[in-house]
Chain A
């Protein structure tokens, strides 16, 4: 039964029309991706144009001040450093241990399913909810106050799902044969993991930790919620002292501010001069988070390339 497609010219026209649509779509697709790229470029260039003149040695070594010309980010970057240190100290062992249990030990039953759904859900809980958790639990129930310790634990809980999930993925990538070989020569389960599986999967785990840390550096909301100060002009006690035992942990109880909060504080002030400071702080923040992120992407790329099982 003849229809209009049976004619060669009609078929040719149909092909041409469809090819044209395909070209249109490619243009639209490139444009969509261009939007994402343009955002990044505009964001960075806007920050650079405004903030570049502020970025000098004085900016890094001055405490905040009510005079925008005098203000700097000393307290903020020291605070960020100390908070991230506590975060890593908590999240890395806890996350790796949880990942190992779920991947290597856990029996496949409803409990594992439950923990899995729970971790997926925790990864999607808004960060500000972690702030409320920390405010209610760390600050007022455990009485840790609005300290670096509280902040570190809060961010650790926040990035825990990232560390757990990436740990599991990199453990899963290790072929079963390696485990069986180790068992065959009489290794115990923990020996198999500690001597073989973990060292081989370190690359992937490291990537996960770095991605988590980069997220923690940029996180603002949960720290505002626990009551981090926005204006603070003194540094916490130094972790190194001149007297025995030379290491002091007083700083974990100190009030603090971090880079994103400092930036938020400057953005929300009406004076234009402070917004220049905000832009400069934004550059520092971007260099930190994006630099750390880029490191993670590079590491993953390298480890993926070098794996030859």
Chain B
């Protein structure tokens, strides 16, 4: 029974109202999704606003306290060698906090950069596939350890071991003294904290540097092997230069982690702001200062309340510069191939 293929009684399914509804629904969904995407920008704006607003109040209060101009307050902030905004008379030199941050970062980098780079080269060029499949998740797990646990490790495991090693070294080179005559590593020190910060960022460096090395096209490797180079020569003389920007970006991003690291240094490096670059001493980093002040009952509007924002803005600017540099450097290496 053959009918007309399109009976004229049939309506077109898409009537005008339903199309309008569908169009509007699409628009609303797109708007909601757009708002969600914009939330990240709003977060950044709020961070910048809060940090600036509270820091401004901080400087105003300091100016009142010292009866000086904004310029003088800023000069004291950046060149003063003492940070004690909580004790009268207040001094607001940020350098002790920066020196603590810098020292732990240098110690951390000395641990993380060599081990991380060598591990990355080994993983990408030498390791059998099975070893790599096993080790990459292990490195990821290491990156997932909570930093407060690392802090515990630094204070109660690494520091006691370091104390024994340092005492042992002294006894080896200058034996026969009374035990109190030897230098004793304090319980809070930047060396132990820095080493653990370094161990913490090894997985970041390894994984990012390995990605960079693997992004180098195979024909560069083949060319090098064809010339008779070994895998090691290829890795060092061909792949490392080719992946330089990716590896440098990995270092910079890991460094930014180390700068922002809080719990390890707050637990193991001490909380006394002190202008020193000696890792064998204890000192406070910027982050450790913020934690130590927040721990007390922090009255809103007091000078110590504002002082953590002033310290925070230094931290934010430092990590912002590192992150943006890392972003652009890593973008460059992606565009080369």
CB <8 Å contact, B267 and A217? no
- Whether A178 is near chain B, meaning CB under 8 Å from some CB there, is no
Contact of B119 among A32, A211, A220 (CB under 8 A): A32
**At the interface with chain B, which of A60-68, A196-204, A223-231, A246-254?**
A223-231
Contact of B316 among A129, A189, A217 (CB under 8 A): A129
Known A122-B43, A268-B267: A25·B37 in contact at CB below 8 Å: no
CB <8 Å contact, B41 and A124? no
CB <8 Å contact, B37 and A102? yes
CB <8 Å contact, B315 and A126? yes
- Give the distance in Å from the alpha carbon of A160 to the alpha carbon of B38 in the complex: 12
Residues of B within 8 A of A22 (CB): 230-232
Q: List residues of B (205-235) whose CB comes within 8 Å of A's CBs.
A: 206, 230-233
**At the interface with chain A, which of B79-87, B162-170, B175-183, B292-300?**
B292-300
Residues of B within 8 A of A100 (CB): 33
Q: In chain B, what residue has the closest Cβ to A157? A: B43
Instruction: State how many angstroms separate the Cβ of A296 from the closest Cβ of chain B.
Output: 9
- Give the distance in Å from the alpha carbon of A233 to the alpha carbon of B151 in the complex: 25
CB <8 Å contact, B202 and A35? yes
Contact with B along A213-249 (1 / 0, CB 8 A): 0110111110011110010000000000000000000
Known A128-B260, A190-B25, A214-B144: A122·B40 in contact at CB below 8 Å: yes
Known A46-B153, A289-B145, A290-B144: A117·B327 in contact at CB below 8 Å: yes
CB <8 Å contact, A215 and B323? no
Contact of A282 among B51, B137, B152 (CB under 8 A): B152
Q: How many residues of B sit at the interface, in one of the four size bands?
A: 35 or more
- Whether A115 is near chain B, meaning CB under 8 Å from some CB there, is yes
Instruction: State how many angstroms separate the Cβ of A99 from the closest Cβ of chain B.
Output: 8
Instruction: State how many angstroms separate the Cβ of B77 from the closest Cβ of chain A.
Output: 17
Contact with A along B33-68 (1 / 0, CB 8 A): 110111111011011001101100000000000000
Contact with A along B309-334 (1 / 0, CB 8 A): 10010011001101110110000000
Residues of A within 8 A of B298 (CB): 227
- Whether B70 is near chain A, meaning CB under 8 Å from some CB there, is no
- Give the distance in Å from the alpha carbon of A264 to the alpha carbon of B112 in the complex: 25
- Give the distance in Å from the alpha carbon of A169 to the alpha carbon of B216 in the complex: 21
Could you say which of B54, B206, B267, B312 has the most chain A C-beta atoms within 10 Å of its C-beta? B312
Q: How many residues of A sit at the interface, in one of the four size bands?
A: 35 or more
- Whether B203 is near chain A, meaning CB under 8 Å from some CB there, is yes
CB <8 Å contact, B141 and A137? no
- Give the distance in Å from the alpha carbon of A186 to the alpha carbon of B265 in the complex: 58
Contact of A132 among B123, B203, B233, B308 (CB under 8 A): B308
Q: List residues of B (85-126) whose CB comes within 8 Å of A's CBs.
A: 114-116, 118-119, 121-123, 126
Known A18-B230, A115-B38, A224-B291: A47·B315 in contact at CB below 8 Å: no
- Whether A174 is near chain B, meaning CB under 8 Å from some CB there, is no
- Whether A125 is near chain B, meaning CB under 8 Å from some CB there, is yes
CB <8 Å contact, A128 and B290? yes
CB <8 Å contact, A131 and B294? yes
CB <8 Å contact, A124 and B316? no
CB <8 Å contact, B148 and A260? yes
Q: In chain B, what residue has the closest Cβ to A132? A: B312
Question: What number of A-B contacts does a CB cutoff of 8 Å give?
Answer: 266
CB <8 Å contact, A115 and B260? no
Q: In chain B, what residue has the closest Cβ to A22? A: B232
CB <8 Å contact, A263 and B152? yes
Contact with A along B114-156 (1 / 0, CB 8 A): 1110110111001100000001011111101111111111011
Contact with B along A96-130 (1 / 0, CB 8 A): 01101110011000000011011111101111111
CB <8 Å contact, A33 and B32? no
CB <8 Å contact, B115 and A32? yes
Residues of A within 8 A of B50 (CB): 132-133, 136-137
Q: In chain B, what residue has the closest Cβ to A29? A: B122
Instruction: State how many angstroms separate the Cβ of B302 from the closest Cβ of chain A.
Output: 12
CB <8 Å contact, B294 and A120? no
Contact of B138 among A18, A37, A227 (CB under 8 A): A37
Residues of B within 8 A of A81 (CB): none
CB <8 Å contact, B312 and A97? no
What are 16 pairs between A and B in contact, CB < 8 Å? A22-B232, A32-B118, A43-B157, A93-B36, A97-B33, A121-B44, A122-B44, A124-B256, A124-B326, A129-B47, A132-B312, A136-B53, A264-B151, A267-B148, A268-B267, A294-B137
The 5 residue pairs across chains A and B that have the minimum distance between CB atoms: A126-B260, A218-B146, A29-B122, A97-B36, A136-B50
Residues of A participating in the B interface, judged by any CB pair closer than 8 Å = 18-19, 21-22, 25-26, 28-30, 32-33, 35-37, 39-40, 42-43, 46-47, 93-95, 97-98, 100-102, 105-106, 114-115, 117-122, 124-133, 135-137, 140, 157, 160-161, 164, 188-190, 211, 214-215, 217-221, 224-227, 230, 260, 263-264, 267-268, 275, 278-279, 282, 285-286, 289-290, 293-294, 297
Residues of B participating in the A interface, judged by any CB pair closer than 8 Å = 22, 25-26, 29-30, 32-34, 36-41, 43-44, 46-47, 50-51, 53-54, 114-116, 118-119, 121-123, 126-127, 135, 137-142, 144-153, 155-157, 199, 202-203, 206, 230-233, 253, 256-257, 259-263, 266-267, 287, 290-291, 294-295, 297-298, 300, 308-309, 312, 315-316, 319-320, 322-324, 326-327
- Supply 19 further A-B pairs (C-beta < 8 A) apart from A140-B300, A227-B298: A29-B121, A33-B123, A36-B115, A47-B149, A97-B36, A115-B37, A124-B256, A131-B294, A132-B312, A133-B43, A160-B43, A188-B26, A221-B290, A224-B295, A267-B148, A275-B156, A285-B148, A294-B137, A297-B137
